[in-house]
Amino acid sequence: MKKSVILISLFLLIFIVIGASAQEEQTFENPTYTQEFVEQQESMLNNLDSLFPRTLLKYTYEEGTAISDDVEQFEGFTFKSVKKDGRNEITITADEVSETEDYSRGWQLFNTTGSYKNFYFHVDIQLIDQDESNNGWIFFQYSNGVIVGENNRSSGEILYPNKIDKYITTAEGRVYTTYYDLTDYENDYEPHKLEMIRLDGYTSAFIDGHFIVGFEDEFSGNFYHVYGVGLKPGGKYATYAFDNFIIRRQ
């Protein structure tokens, strides 16, 4: 990949591949919370300066170094990244539409930010275009894969517009635990703000400033952050815009 594409201001996006595999999960109902608990969770967004005083990354494409258009072929799909309207638009196109496998590709926000246990993580996203299958998706996650190796990987994520989950990767494969169904957001072309707060093993996920779900991840150690795009089986192409990356820590 061209160096001009992966350099954003002083922060390096290190390219990685996220494998996606078929899975079987039991159906469930989204959890409900008391109004008091929701207000407690959302109050953290108003107290970031005290909870997470160190800003590790604050990047907008409008203010940052311009990126060059880039097109690349990679294992069954074409990947295109452009700066447009002050954002980074990423398009994923299947060379041959798969009926059995997901395609995905991701980028690691690492370099100067290092790894950490507790954090606040923010990104703005928007679905720009997709084919009639409506099978595009993005992931927004924290993971320890680079630290411990892919076969010992633990990750928590917002998989939009699909679910909020965590997964454990071993040599035998991945085991997922789903906490929230986000399919109500399918085919939604409105801009959205995704946020996660992890504090002492409890992860809270927010969309547009509203608390969606929280869960104990039972992960140990430190993490870094990853985002990317994908296609579910049957998907041909999808374009998403990304902007306003923010990472804060204690």
Question: What pLDDT was estimated at residue 1?
Answer: 33
Cα 40 to its chain centre, rounded Å, is: 24
Question: What pLDDT was estimated at residue 21?
Answer: 42
In a domain, 77, yes or no: yes
Question: What pLDDT was estimated at residue 70?
Answer: 81
State the Cα–Cα distance between residues 226 and 151, nearest whole angstrom.
17
In a domain, 28, yes or no: no
In a domain, 26, yes or no: no
Identify the CATH number of the domain in which residue 240 sits. 2.60.120.200
Q: Residue-wise pLDDT tens for the chain (250 aa)? A: 333 333 333 333 434 444 444 444 556 799 999 999 999 999 999 999 999 999 999 998 877 655 667 887 777 889 899 988 889 999 999 988 888 888 888 888 766 688 899 999 999 999 999 999 999 999 999 999 888 988 999 999 999 999 999 999 999 999 999 999 999 999 999 999 999 999 999 999 999 999 999 999 999 999 999 999 999 999 999 999 999 999 999 9
Alpha-carbon distances of 27 from 6, 153, 177, rounded to whole Å: 39, 25, 11
CA geometry: angle 193, 174, 131, nearest 5 deg: 50
Domain of residue 73 covers 3-20+33-249
Among candidates 129, 97, 84, 162, which has minimal Cα distance to 239?
129
Question: What pLDDT was estimated at residue 110?
Answer: 61
State the Cα–Cα distance between residues 41 and 198, nearest whole angstrom.
11
| Beta carbons of 171 and 161 less than 8 angstroms apart | no
In a domain, 10, yes or no: yes
Question: What pLDDT was estimated at residue 65?
Answer: 58
In a domain, 97, yes or no: yes
Name residues whose C-beta falls within 8 Å of residue 182's C-beta, 6 or more positions apart in sequence.
158, 159, 160, 161, 162, 163, 164, 212
Question: What pLDDT was estimated at residue 206?
Answer: 98
Q: In total, how many domains does the chain have?
A: 1
